[in-house]
Structure 1
């Protein structure tokens, strides 16, 4: 029996059904506890946002300060025990002044971010890693299946215009499913609830809870909170926007200028959490 375009359209539809089930069916039960600022930042702005919150937390404790050219570095005069996994990974990665985007790419920081992502997935705030990757693979298989059908089936065969028109439907559905964010509906409701309960205050709070309030505000609002609560550290450390392109590697040009200048980073900034 010769291969027909309908077989390929059916195979693409099966991939779509499996991907939709992985993306849309409910996963783990949602934990009622409010996650920490780093988890909230990961949900709101992705990996880079979580690293920024970790840097602000370390700065509040006096173990991280700004370097040259929009970089961050450890403060050699302060010795404080760091127990949080992500903060410890970030702290130990600052052996020299580096930009935020470079910190995100350090393997130990990546492992800590993966653990934080898995915790959010276990709480039902992110789609599980295995289901997310499997769904992505299935969605990538949809256009490949359609193209394979077009190549195998001669274009001069009967019903080709109808088959071509119908083959666009799986492609459109695949594009719609691809746009589904990794963050779940429960995570979106959580972020909305936290923003209602924790608006940005005109004046930075004082007292014992001031540091936690600042961290949660940075996690929820990003640059707006950075400029409100830690403006000098955020600006001089390259935490605002997409951060500094500078890695902080000292390059000496003794012939022209004895002062160190920074080299540019080719690492990309973070997401989605996705």
Structure 2
């Protein structure tokens, strides 16, 4: 076996080590995952975070604030504060409201420091209960997976420099499986299997109503928005959602 072939094999082994280490990090369970004990159902902002990420959690917080008269739709598909936050103690709602010193579009609002810190705190809490992959481990795993292609590339370059590499087809046979494995792991959602099972159970117990007047409880409205996103927004809060830019206009053809 020539020196170039050894470089390719060594690079493939190193890339596999990175992928396997990432897989271990992504499979690491929080304290609340697994087991058969009953689990308290998280609040609407947490459920939205599990379903759709940061923007979904901020959207549910805005729905709650709107129900209390604390925010309203602004100009050009923005959200503005409409007085104080009321008596809410929810950290995400408070962080979102503090971010609205000026009217902001939803995308910009979700990135404001106060809102980001509040959602990150909720994310860390869900990571400890096993519903989200722990954020630190998730980031570390993604860094390891991102390092796999350069590791392979360095081996191929070193093999090419020696002039006695294994050739294109053997190199592809060595590199393609690890790249496919890295891609598959990169596509894993932050929500764990336990979270996806919880969301499915809640959707089964709470199917989206056909008529708005069937639901009069504001908390239930937030639950539906957390579980279903845009369809629930369009059903229960059509004007606020449209004027405030909460609906995904890409999906509806708006941009």
Residue 205 of structure 2 corresponds to 197
Residue 181 of structure 1 corresponds to 189
Q: Matches of 1:235 and 1:203 in 2, distance apart?
A: 16
Residue 225 of structure 2 corresponds to 218
Residue 157 of structure 1 corresponds to 164
Moved more, 218-227 or 163-172: 163-172
Correspondence 1:86-125 to 2 at 5 A:
86-125=92-131
- Whether the aligned pair in 2 keeps the contact of 1:55 and 1:64 (CA below 8 Å) is yes
Gaps of 5+ in 2: 251-255
Q: Matches of 2:179 and 2:61 in 1, distance apart?
A: 40
Q: Matches of 1:61 and 1:20 in 2, distance apart?
A: 44
Deviations 1:117-154 (A, max 9, x none): 11111111110112111111111111111100011113
How far is 1:28 from its partner?
2.9
Residue 11 of structure 1 corresponds to 14
Q: Could you say what the CA RMSD is over the residues aligned between the two structures, in angstroms?
A: 2.0
Partner of 1:124, secondary structure, is coil
The count of corresponding residues between Structure 1 and Structure 2 is: 240
- Whether the aligned pair in 1 keeps the contact of 2:77 and 2:244 (CA below 8 Å) is yes
- Whether the aligned pair in 2 keeps the contact of 1:74 and 1:95 (CA below 8 Å) is yes
Gaps of 5+ in 1: 244-274
Residue 253 of structure 2 corresponds to none
Asked if 1:43 corresponds to 2:46, the answer is no
Partner of 1:204, secondary structure, is helix
Residue 242 of structure 2 corresponds to 235
Poorly superposed stretches of 4+, deviation over 4 Å: none
Asked if 1:62 corresponds to 2:97, the answer is no
Asked if 1:32 corresponds to 2:39, the answer is yes
Partner of 2:75, secondary structure, is coil
Structure holding more helix per residue: 2
- Whether the aligned pair in 2 keeps the contact of 1:204 and 1:228 (CA below 8 Å) is no
Structure holding more strand per residue: 1
How far is 1:159 from its partner?
3.0
Deviations 1:146-180 (A, max 9, x none): 10001111374153342342222211111111111
Asked if 1:21 corresponds to 2:30, the answer is no
Q: Matches of 1:169 and 1:126 in 2, distance apart?
A: 27
User: 1:226/1:119 Cα in 2 relative to 1: closer, same or farther (>3 Å)?
Assistant: same
Q: Matches of 1:205 and 1:21 in 2, distance apart?
A: 46
TM-score (norm 2): 0.87
